[in-house]
């Protein structure tokens, strides 16, 4: 993580230093500062999306202080002030400071540049505090995500120019330095909003009290035909049926079936093989990628009890794998209408489905051995609830699942042709199915090796 921070921090500084020249060469007829300001609105939306999945409030620092004779206001201020010095806030500033220095070097007014830079720092703080409000209520995220998609579509079809709107907003911060008070004032208002929200839930009984709900039962006896893995499959289906987090994952997986409509309807993406393979993996692998990445975190609340029973790890992993395979097959059936966009695109989707079943499923299960983030299944959206369970480890694990299919496809495609790429991608998945037992045994050994580390990590809530 330290090396990652140094790497991305170094890139931000380097790009900020040469950014002026890059923009000047890319759009020679436009002021580089204006060019940058045209896309800052998308930077705001993109950073909000990144923070939603990876930036969480360090609530573990606040719980031990709740039993000590320290004023509530002091503890909450400590928590909020700690978030200000997050790496997520620093990375943007590391880009804008050298870029601002370059502006001054090339003759821009120092006072106006300083006001513009201070305004952007205020906006970074706004994003910091907005993110915590989003984490407490998913409605905020859905609104922002919908606005982001809508703005891209409207701008692409020249209905509303959001680049012009972005330019008007952010370039005004440079033209009129006194406008710096608005981002800073908004950051203060959001700070107070977070403070009030935390203060409202700052009670020990609010954390430990359990909400009693009526449990619904379903007859799942038909699954007994699956043999030894049937109890695990029943447990997962009940978990999805009864709890909020798994339901959200299931809805997300359904959304991914329609993912191709975004790529296949735009000419800029339609003929791009990277985006075609990328979309194909998500269309059929939505459930695999969303549900599978939280194995074994789904069982974190009773993992210690489960590991104390005489339960073979192999059966446990095979049940998770079987459930992911069924998810891929259902998504593939639902993707049949994509034939409308051409046989080549549907062939790519079909090959990606085989790859998801034969290789991506095992890569996902293997990644679970490195995922030791507990998931609270039915957590209510509150100031002290971990509603994400997403970390940098999972992001790194996801890279081979998304890039791997493209690499397998592009090499034979480049030397032979499209059909060769499709065959190579399909054969890689079929090969994985042939060695299913071998892969599951290998993954089982990996889980057994880290068993006690996983138990200890899940106990640290």
Listed residue (297, 254, 279, 313) closest to 457, CA to CA:
297
Whole-number Å distance between alpha carbons of 426 and 247: 31
Is there a contact between 421 and 410 (Cβ–Cβ < 8 Å)? yes
Q: Dihedral, CA atoms, 104, 106, 108, 110, nearest 10 degrees? A: 20
Distance set, CA 234 to CA 8, 50, 224, 447 (Å): 43, 34, 9, 22
Q: Report the number of secondary-structure helices (H) and strands (E) in the chain.
A: 23, 0
In DSSP notation, 242-304 reads H-HHHHHHHHHHHHHHTTHHHHHTSHHHHT-HHHHHHHHHHHHHHHHHHHHTTTTGGGGGGHH
Quick check: helix, strand or coil at residue 62? Answer: coil
Distance set, CA 237 to CA 223, 377, 378 (Å): 10, 13, 15
Whole-number Å distance between alpha carbons of 248 and 373: 18
How confident is the model at residue 188, as a pLDDT?
Answer: 94
Q: How close are the terminal C-alpha atoms of the chain, in Å?
A: 21
Paired tokens of 169 = 């907003």
Distance set, CA 252 to CA 48, 246, 248, 257, 321 (Å): 18, 10, 6, 9, 19
Is there a contact between 199 and 139 (Cβ–Cβ < 8 Å)? no
How confident is the model at residue 372, as a pLDDT?
Answer: 73
In DSSP notation, 81-144 reads HHHHT-HHHHHHHHHHHHHHHHHHHTT--HHHHHHHHHHHHHHHHHHHHHHHHHHH-HHHHHHH
Please give the angle made by the CA atoms of 155, 127 and 164, to the nearest 5 degrees. Answer: 25
Paired tokens of 354 = 């085989």
Whole-number Å distance between alpha carbons of 298 and 239: 9
- Buried/exposed code over 108-120 (b: 16+ C-beta within 10 A; e: otherwise): beeebbebbbbbb
Paired tokens of 192 = 């107070």
Whole-number Å distance between alpha carbons of 278 and 257: 13
How confident is the model at residue 57, as a pLDDT?
Answer: 66
Whole-number Å distance between alpha carbons of 263 and 246: 27
Whole-number Å distance between alpha carbons of 438 and 345: 32
Mean pLDDT in each 10-residue stretch from start to end of the chain (461 residues)? 76 89 88 91 82 68 75 86 84 91 92 94 91 69 74 77 88 92 94 86 58 55 66 77 76 79 69 75 84 79 78 82 88 88 87 89 83 68 42 65 80 86 90 89 86 78 57
Task: Check whether the bond before 296 is cis (ω within 30° of 0).
Answer: yes
Listed residue (286, 41, 264) closest to 173, CA to CA:
41
Q: What are 50-96's pLDDT values in tens digits?
A: 777 677 666 656 667 777 888 888 888 888 888 888 888 888 889 99
Paired tokens of 388 = 């994400």
Q: Please provide residue 441's backbone torsions phi and psi, each rounded to the nearest 5 degrees.
A: -65, -40
How confident is the model at residue 175, as a pLDDT?
Answer: 92
How confident is the model at residue 320, as a pLDDT?
Answer: 87
Distance set, CA 295 to CA 116, 174, 291 (Å): 45, 48, 7
How confident is the model at residue 384, as a pLDDT?
Answer: 38
Listed residue (269, 408, 403, 397) closest to 351, CA to CA:
408
Is there a contact between 238 and 220 (Cβ–Cβ < 8 Å)? yes
Q: Which residues contact 119 (CB under 8 A, 6 or more apart)?
A: 173, 179, 180, 182, 183, 184
Burial of 234 (0-12, 13-18, 19+ CB in 10 A): middle
Paired tokens of 459 = 């106990």
Whole-number Å distance between alpha carbons of 454 and 292: 16
How confident is the model at residue 271, as a pLDDT?
Answer: 67
């Amino acid at each position: 993580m330290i090396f990652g921070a140094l790497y991305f921090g170094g890139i931000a500084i380097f790009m900020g230093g040469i950014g002026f020249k890059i923009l000047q060469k890319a759009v020679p007829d436009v002021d580089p500062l204006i060019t940058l300001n045209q896309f800052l609105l998308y930077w705001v939306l993109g950073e909000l999306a990144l923070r939603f999945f990876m930036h969480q409030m360090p609530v573990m620092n606040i719980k031990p202080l709740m039993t000590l004779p320290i004023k509530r206001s002091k503890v909450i201020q400590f928590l909020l002030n700690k978030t200000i010095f997050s790496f997520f806030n620093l990375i943007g500033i590391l880009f804008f400071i050298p870029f601002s220095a370059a502006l001054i070097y090339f003759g821009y007014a120092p006072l106006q540049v300083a006001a513009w830079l201070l305004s952007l720092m205020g906006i970074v703080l706004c994003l910091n505090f907005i993110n915590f409000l989003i984490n407490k209520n998913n409605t905020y995220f859905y609104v922002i995500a919908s606005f982001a998609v809508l703005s891209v579509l409207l701008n692409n079809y020249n209905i509303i120019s959001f680049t012009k709107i972005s330019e008007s907003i952010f370039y005004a911060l440079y033209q009129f330095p006194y406008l710096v008070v608005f981002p800073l004032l908004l950051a203060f208002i959001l700070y107070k909003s977070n403070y009030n929200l935390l203060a409202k839930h700052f009670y020990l009984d609010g954390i430990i009290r359990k909400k009693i709900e009526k449990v619904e039962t379903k007859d799942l006896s038909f699954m007994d035909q699956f043999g030894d893995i049937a109890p695990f499959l029943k447990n997962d289906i009940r978990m999805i049926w009864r709890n909020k987090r798994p339901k959200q994952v299931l809805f997300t997986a359904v959304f991914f079936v329609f993912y191709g409509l975004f790529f296949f309807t735009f000419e800029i993406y339609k003929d791009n093989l990277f985006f075609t393979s990328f979309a194909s993996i998500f269309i059929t692998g939505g459930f695999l990628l969303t549900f599978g990445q939280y194995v074994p975190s789904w069982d974190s609340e009773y993992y210690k009890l489960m590991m104390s029973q005489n339960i073979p790890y192999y059966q446990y992993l095979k049940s998770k794998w079987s459930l992911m395979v069924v998810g891929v097959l259902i998504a593939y059936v639902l993707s049949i209408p994509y034939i409308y966009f051409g046989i080549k695109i549907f062939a790519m989707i079909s090959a990606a489905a085989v790859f998801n079943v034969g290789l991506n499923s095992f890569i996902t299960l293997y990644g679970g051995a490195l995922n030791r983030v507990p998931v609270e299944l039915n957590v209510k959206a509150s100031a002290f609830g971990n509603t994400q369970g997403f970390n940098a480890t999972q992001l790194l694990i996801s890279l081979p699942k998304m890039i791997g299919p493209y690499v397998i496809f592009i090499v034979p495609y480049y030397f032979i042709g499209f059909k060769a790429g499709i065959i190579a991608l399909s054969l890689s998945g079929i090969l994985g199915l042939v060695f299913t037992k071998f892969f599951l045994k290998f993954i089982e050994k990996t889980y057994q090796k880290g068993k006690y580390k996983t138990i200890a990590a899940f106990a640290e809530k």
